[in-house]
Structure 1
Amino acid sequence: MTAELVRGQNHPLSQAHLEIRVSAGTPVVAAATLGDDGGTVRGVEWVAHPGTPTLPGLEVSRQAAADHRLAVDLDAMPEAVHRVHVLISLPQAGGGPVRFGAVAAPFVAVTGLDGGEVASYTITGLDSESAVVALELYRRQGAWKVRAVGQGYAGGLAELLTDQGLPQAQQLASGIHEAVAQGLARSVQAPPPRTADGDRSRQTAASALGPDQSGPAPYGTQGHQNPAGPYAPQGTPGTPPVPPAAGPGAGHPSGPAPADPSAAGPTPPPTGPAGGGPIDYSHPRRGTTAPPPPPPTAPPAAPGQPAQPVAGDATGWSMEERLYNQIWGMFEDLARTTAAYRSAVDFAESRLEKEIDQVLSDPRNRIGGQGDAAREAALARQTQLVDQARQALDRDLAQLVAEADVVEPALPPAFAGWDNPVWHSYRVPMEIPMALRIGDLGLPESDRLRIPLLVRLPLERGLWIDSGRTAMADDVFVDTHERRRLAMESAVAHTARLLAVYPADEFTVHLVDPAGSGAQALAPLVRSGVLAGPPARGAAGVADVLGRLTQRVDLVQMALRGGVADSLPPDFDTAQQLLVVNDFPHGFDDRAVTQLRYLADEGPAVGVHLMMVADREDAAGYGPLLDPLWRSLLRLTPVPDDHLADPWVGHAWTYEPALVPPGSGVLETVLRQVAAARTKRS
């Protein structure tokens, strides 16, 4: 049982290896301090923060993000440490909120390595505070406990650290904020599960692992793991992190690893369990089935020239799986090569400042031509370093652009953009694809390159199309009605794509539009006849749809738990169900809100999925009650916005929704084929 703590309450910890998860709904900085038996932090070397993320028995994230996972090993804590305080703070840069009272209540949870929650705490009652002590792990009579603290500080991180007795609090707080100012990540996007054989066949170096949607994340959102294990020593405090490998293919053979092996897609039959379970007595090298076809290989390259890219050159048991792995390989390659470029630019700038400081430290160089000459030489060296880094980045980008040019035309409809010609030869599929394209991701340094953003099917979490104001500057010129119209068009495009990639009669869509405000955008879905029924209107319509879907979830859960799944009613709709909700919370009473939360939490496991088009501010009156709902959904935007971060190095990526090109009739054509296939099946 999970202990839901309130402020001041404590709970015993029976495990030494723990993970502390932080969800804030907005980018926050996560840190931790170590205290002695009096609670005093003895120095900056007792603080784990983005600039120094690892201490003995403790590891925090290197970036600001909406979600964090901190690793704690209580057995590895020094004897002098009796307290561990988990801190969260709002960044000082990035244009985000400046006080916790303006955002959703932060949520923290202590979990074991298996993902099971030990204790959780929702930090309510914050107002003008910009930093808060969330939790305290403390040693009492040889045993460890966790206490919910929730102590906020209006003076920010500097005031918090000062209150903990740190003399250098102001300088350390400034250093922490500077460390995250360059790479502010709004939300950490989970990577896909990898295949059993790994990712791209051309990779050779070890890869960083990333968090999975369905399981525990690595220790720190950056994904830079210690090969000796998450709790092994990783250098002394203050040691700068090793920069990520540069260039396509560097440091990424396999992509992220899944927490749940069953989610990893097709895998070869096992030859025997690693520990426990039934034993397979077949010869380990005697195959009984034909091996999978090898991936395509590129023609030999001319001496001194990079190999010509080929679509599907990653490993996999089908062309679809190889393309899937190749896209995620391109995603990681772009993340790492850009990180290498940014790291080189930062090094050049810091070296320039150091050299100029050295020149100015000698009074004789402050006047006359000697000082000017030294400064010009330092500037020339900086320019040379930056130019070299840019040349390496441009070389890698050219290779990735060439790869994208051959991959995009080869994509199946589920992976392809709406402007891809593959849609003009579309036929209703016979099998469910591995994944679905929900948009594209790009970085400022690579305007020419967009990486498809794929999510696995069936959906493991719901989708939230945010119709509120986004962080992009151009959004200030878009009024409320226009944002909601764009959000509905985005939802229709995502819904149509889901209908198109599922076999006929294996995906059912329900619409809830209480006030009818989305009628114009929903017209293509309504006219085509692909919906389970007309959009539900008013409070009565909302209650009816939610009631039926809630009853369906209950029925399937009872059948599965009782082992009688075959005894479902003959007329039971076994298709995957999607509930699209517009204009939330209009038309929702307290009971309907509770049912919606229930569907978001329990529905995906039994084939009931949620897509919400909503502005979070419209539901602000519910307070922290809806925080778990927003956290359970993958936030997407109807306009370009840089709210997603990769799991490898934490860049803030610009997300662009997968929309139908203006004036194109491809969506209506596809929906007509889906409707015709359903009519034929019935």
Structure 2
Amino acid sequence: MTAELTRGQNHPLPRARLEIRVSAGTPVVAGATLGDENGTIHGVERVVHPGAPTLPGLEVSRQAAADHRLAVDLDAVPDAVHRVSVLLALPAGGQGPARFGAVAAPFVAVTDLDGDEVASYTITGLEAESAVVALELYRRQGAWKVRAVGQGYAGGLAELLADQKLSQAHQLAATIHEAVASGLARSIPAPPAAAPAHRPDHGAMPGAGPGGPVPPASPYDPQGPSAPGPQTPGAPGRPGGQQPYPSGPGEPATAGQPSAPAAGGPIDYSHPRRQSAAPPPPPPAAPASEPGRPARPVAGDATGWSMEERLYNQVWGMFEDLARTTAAYRSAVDFADSRMEKELDQVLSDPRSRIGGQGDAAREAARARHGQLVSQAREVLDRDVAQLVAEAEVVEPALPAAFARWDNPVWHAYRVPMEIPMALRLGDLHLPEADRIRIPMLIRLPLERGLWIDSGRSASLDGSFADSHEMRRLGLETAVSHAARLLAVYPAGEFTVHVIDPAGSGAQALAPLAQSGVLAAPPAQGAAGAADVLARLTQRVDLVQMALRGGAPDALPPGLDTSQQLLIVNDFPHGFDDRAVNQLRYLADEGPAVGVHLMMVADREESAGFGPLLDPLWRSLLRLTPVADDHLADPWVGHAWTYEPSLVPPGSQVLQQVLAQVAAARRSWDR
């Protein structure tokens, strides 16, 4: 099975003789550098390129082409070489695009000699760069691995080679471009334009500005039906599945020779015995309804092995798009504000313009320019948001139950799943400048952090209208909604919920869980009940940790519940002492790694009496709110995202229907 890499990921290489396939939307130069343990290139003789296409264990094409196959024999690479960096560059001389941001994202794949893929990588996030290190083959403890790099260089080949400590970087870059220029007429033309391309890196949407590098983590995640077969991002398919193939080790000398062109047509560089096509891309977007307008969005047009993964990546892409276009709008407004202030200061600094019509005219002109700049920025934002709204309208109905709102019809066709989904929806996110669009807040499963449902007055944007009792009720209802989702998306018997309700104040909100029979036991009440539940879960964490660390997971006691465990704690800190708080801290810190998760429903201010003892617990949990609140921030531009919890619509029976099926499946599983 092919490993679809993202930037920074690595994968072991099963054999030494390989091919590296490159597909791009325009002719590119392909080469490789041989570096030591630190990646340093010791001389131009350690660079294979069109002017010097062969080195021990490596062979590349002699010309620029839209498609390449690089032959690699790692057993023949000198022992002093620890890194083989595969580089791509745009030809110099103005005969094509000057930056990778103007063409489709290049695709590279490592295959064996039979054409079976080992790993692939779509190089996303490139803009002004004209050269890029695509992949890196490196030694690690006597074995070879491949790493997706994607490091671009706006300064082209010279900057790339200089970054690898080659002293003759500029001279070698000029030599390479001269060699390419001499054979450019024999280059393979770019494939014909296909339907509007999919968005492999969940970057900028059609109609939006260019996207930047994909961030490594989601701000809300500190970390459906399945389509058959893996879906790997790749280049547009070529007629007949043929690809260019220069001769390599073990191939006849004629294999890499171009065939004669027919009637002046393009030269065919395809290997006569290789007919494997490039991996199919995700479903293409539907054609635009009118020329010049963005393509109509399609649900699942991102990359992924299954429809579920493609939809997850598409939602993530929508989140990035909204973050970027809003950041651009805010930056434009800030620029307009600062420019107007500067122009007004200049007017006021001149005594001659402080009075009379001249000063008034200058001030009016400054305000007019400010209004024009803000208006232009708003037009761009509205255009991008409209495209996102159109995409949300097709994506939302297509989401699987784990990603869908409670009012989505998919819940009415709910069946207990056989597999754990990759993520769970905990609510929606939006920004004040784009209130029309709601982005699903998806968090990966299994949970890597517990949740703190903040029932305090500060949790509400309009907290003055909700008293403390109402906020506590809303907080517990939110916790019940999240717990019901977790129960619903796990297979029967693989998720267990415990509840601590010391004073019994949450009986009404907990009724859906308690009456359906999905709880492991009735909600624990009083200090003794809380202590019993905490002791049992703490002991479970200890036992599983010892078994895993001792390498004996089968040595767990008979009857130990190995399913994922969720503890809901209501009305904290009532009924809890210092010892209980330390146990909660232990579960929050050590529990997720062994399948024990914590969900606190508490008011931070009411819990302040525990002082420093509570701070680590507060920091280790993901804070959510039962009402709309702008407390979540993304890690790139620091937007304050407004979070809205995913709650059951008033009067709906969907929660009871879903929990009834979960309880029935659990009873059947227990038998």
Q: TM-score band (shorter)? A: 0.5 to 0.7
AA in 2 matched with 1:505: G
Instruction: Select the residue among 577, 585, 610 that pairs with 1:597.
Output: 585
Identity fraction in percent: 76
The yes-or-no answer on 1:250 pairing with 2:210 is: yes
The yes-or-no answer on 1:626 pairing with 2:586 is: no
Instruction: Select the residue among 372, 375, 399 that pairs with 1:387.
Output: 375
| Partner in structure 1 of residue 631 of structure 2 | 643
The yes-or-no answer on 1:400 pairing with 2:375 is: no
Shift of 1:470: 2.0
**1:203-602 equivalence runs, <5 A:** 205=127, 248=208, 250-252=210-212, 254-256=214-216, 294-301=281-288, 302-470=290-458, 472-602=460-590
Instruction: Please give the secondary structure, in 1, of the residue aligned with 2:451.
Output: strand
Shift of 1:306: 0.5
Shift of 1:290: 12
Q: Contact between 1:252 and 1:332, CA under 8 Å: does it hold in 2?
A: no
Distance 1:568 1:473 in 2: 48
Instruction: Please give the secondary structure, in 1, of the residue aligned with 2:648.
Output: coil
**1:187-206 equivalence runs, <5 A:** 205=127
Distance 2:313 2:452 in 1: 26
Taking a change above 3 Å as real, the CA distance of residues 347 and 634 of structure 1, as seen in their structure-2 partners, is: same
Distance 1:388 1:422 in 2: 40
Deviations 1:420-451 (A, max 9, x none): 11101111000000011001111111111010
Gap runs ≥5 in structure 1: 1-195, 208-224, 233-243, 270-284
Distance 1:629 1:646 in 2: 22
Q: Contact between 1:492 and 1:525, CA under 8 Å: does it hold in 2?
A: yes
Instruction: Please give the secondary structure, in 1, of the residue aligned with 2:418.
Output: coil
AA in 2 matched with 1:427: R
Distance 1:226 1:500 in 2: 48
Distance 2:506 2:388 in 1: 39
Instruction: Please give the secondary structure, in 2, of the residue aligned with 1:578.
Output: strand
Taking a change above 3 Å as real, the CA distance of residues 291 and 635 of structure 1, as seen in their structure-2 partners, is: farther
Runs of 4+ in 1 over 6 A off after TM superposition: 196-199, 225-229, 244-247, 266-269, 289-293
Q: CA RMSD in A?
A: 3.2
Instruction: Please give the secondary structure, in 1, of the residue aligned with 2:534.
Output: helix
Distance 2:216 2:127 in 1: 14
Taking a change above 3 Å as real, the CA distance of residues 245 and 399 of structure 1, as seen in their structure-2 partners, is: closer
Distance 1:347 1:388 in 2: 12
| Partner in structure 2 of residue 667 of structure 1 | 655
AA in 2 matched with 1:320: E
**1:11-160 equivalence runs, <5 A:** none
Deviations 1:510-530 (A, max 9, x none): 000000010000000000000
Shift of 1:618: 1.9
Distance 1:519 1:367 in 2: 72
Taking a change above 3 Å as real, the CA distance of residues 203 and 303 of structure 1, as seen in their structure-2 partners, is: farther
Shift of 1:294: 3.7
Deviations 1:25-80 (A, max 9, x none): xxxxxxxxxxxxxxxxxxxxxxxxxxxxxxxxxxxxxxxxxxxxxxxxxxxxxxxx
Shift of 1:569: 2.5
Distance 2:575 2:329 in 1: 50
Structure index of larger Rg = 2
Instruction: Please give the secondary structure, in 1, of the residue aligned with 2:441.
Output: strand
Q: Contact between 2:231 and 2:303, CA under 8 Å: does it hold in 1?
A: no
Instruction: Please give the secondary structure, in 2, of the residue aligned with 1:616.
Output: coil
Distance 1:543 1:403 in 2: 49
Instruction: Please give the secondary structure, in 1, of the residue aligned with 2:520.
Output: coil
What is the TM-score with the length of structure 2 in the denominator?
Answer: 0.61
Q: Contact between 2:459 and 2:626, CA under 8 Å: does it hold in 1?
A: no
- Which protein has greater RCO, CA pairs closer than 8 Å, 6+ apart? 1
AA in 2 matched with 1:352: M
Distance 1:471 1:304 in 2: 45
Q: Contact between 1:582 and 1:614, CA under 8 Å: does it hold in 2?
A: yes
Shift of 1:249: 6.2
Shift of 1:308: 1.0
AA in 2 matched with 1:395: R
Q: Contact between 2:459 and 2:625, CA under 8 Å: does it hold in 1?
A: no
Deviations 1:73-100 (A, max 9, x none): xxxxxxxxxxxxxxxxxxxxxxxxxxxx
AA in 2 matched with 1:621: G
Distance 1:565 1:617 in 2: 41
AA in 2 matched with 1:468: G
AA in 2 matched with 1:339: A
Q: Contact between 2:453 and 2:626, CA under 8 Å: does it hold in 1?
A: yes
Distance 1:643 1:226 in 2: 37
Instruction: Please give the secondary structure, in 1, of the residue aligned with 2:360.
Output: helix
Q: Which segment is superposed worse, 362-371 or 571-580?
A: 362-371
Distance 1:450 1:456 in 2: 19
Q: Contact between 2:209 and 2:325, CA under 8 Å: does it hold in 1?
A: no
Distance 1:583 1:533 in 2: 18
Q: Contact between 2:452 and 2:623, CA under 8 Å: does it hold in 1?
A: yes
Q: Contact between 2:566 and 2:598, CA under 8 Å: does it hold in 1?
A: yes
AA in 2 matched with 1:296: P
Taking a change above 3 Å as real, the CA distance of residues 206 and 607 of structure 1, as seen in their structure-2 partners, is: farther
Instruction: Please give the secondary structure, in 2, of the residue aligned with 1:582.
Output: strand
Instruction: Please give the secondary structure, in 2, of the residue aligned with 1:586.
Output: coil
Taking a change above 3 Å as real, the CA distance of residues 428 and 298 of structure 1, as seen in their structure-2 partners, is: same
Taking a change above 3 Å as real, the CA distance of residues 651 and 454 of structure 1, as seen in their structure-2 partners, is: same
AA in 2 matched with 1:681: W
AA in 2 matched with 1:637: T
Distance 2:583 2:128 in 1: 45
Taking a change above 3 Å as real, the CA distance of residues 257 and 461 of structure 1, as seen in their structure-2 partners, is: closer
AA in 2 matched with 1:550: T
Deviations 1:387-433 (A, max 9, x none): 10000000000000001111000000110011111101111000000
Q: Contact between 2:421 and 2:489, CA under 8 Å: does it hold in 1?
A: yes
Distance 2:373 2:551 in 1: 65
Distance 2:321 2:639 in 1: 12
Q: Contact between 2:461 and 2:629, CA under 8 Å: does it hold in 1?
A: no
Taking a change above 3 Å as real, the CA distance of residues 245 and 421 of structure 1, as seen in their structure-2 partners, is: closer
User: What is the aligned residue count?
Assistant: 436
Distance 2:277 2:512 in 1: 45
| Partner in structure 2 of residue 50 of structure 1 | none
Instruction: Please give the secondary structure, in 1, of the residue aligned with 2:568.
Output: strand
Shift of 1:251: 2.1
What is the TM-score with the length of structure 1 in the denominator?
Answer: 0.60
Distance 1:330 1:549 in 2: 39
Instruction: Please give the secondary structure, in 1, of the residue aligned with 2:601.
Output: strand
